[in-house]
Structure 1
């Protein structure tokens, strides 16, 4: 009797609150919406891609801003003439003169290793930034490949740009160095993130 009485009271409370117990039960058994499934599985899918936890929009926005800033820096450096690099850029010119003196002493006055090293370092950073931004939109492996392609394409535009800068020239060798630098930078990011993902999976399996 008490059990039946309590059940009747429960149904009475549901009716008073405007709830239908049958509807509540159906809602509990209903499959989750696509959005809910995406939220629940987003971290798993992202970890499987090698990218760690889901990244917020601010991360993506900042990542692309860094790509744009660094690309603008490369454009700025390419827009300077040889004499401008030596005298007109303040701190950068001081570093350039020191490196140029070291190069002359070690390799002779006709050597131009500084230019190649600068190109390699600039595009290694660009490769890292491109890969880091692209991994918000695609699996890490694909982000690595597209990052190298984008950085290499930007290197082509950079060499074309130098055709119009006094004392500068378009050099295919520089483009090859740019592509190698971007490949190294994006590749290092790929290896580091994959290693971090593997460590995370190992830690989760441990009791």
Structure 2
């Protein structure tokens, strides 16, 4: 069972998300919060697998809350609910540790899929958000590539930049999921990035995709 914490300052939005999650046999909502400080406390109490995080909230915003949850509950995977034009918050949220981004106009199927992907260690993106990330990465000056990456680690990083899931990478490389996760962990450590999202951007900037 995938446990989920809902964080949004609008009760109507939380209600809709809760009803959607309750319709899935493998997803359980373990808490709801309308502010960042409450979200951190609830995350510490419930230890959710996935946190659906709004960015715009009074008081502590979603970026600070994401950072706080990452520090206190590192096993929780934060998926940000965002808008297409929210670039000013998109990159800070990445740096804060968000593992994925979903537009608020996503379909119910896309939302449930994103929750399952995040719980499995993948990086869920709305297509438009991913295009914005990749587009900005392409126009950014490349940084020096770390010499310590093995060919396999570099290959996996490239597939992450192309938007493939762990399962898709495993099938493409003819290796197991465990091996893919091992390559990912090593690639993130050697490139100094905090999560798959930043690794994807890094891979695009290096021309590995």
TM > 0.5: no
Q: TM-score range by the shorter chain?
A: under 0.3
Q: Which has the higher helix share?
A: 1
Q: Which has the higher strand share?
A: 2
TM-score (normalizing by structure 1): 0.23
TM-score (normalizing by structure 2): 0.23
Report which of the two structures shows the higher radius of gyration computed on alpha carbons: 1
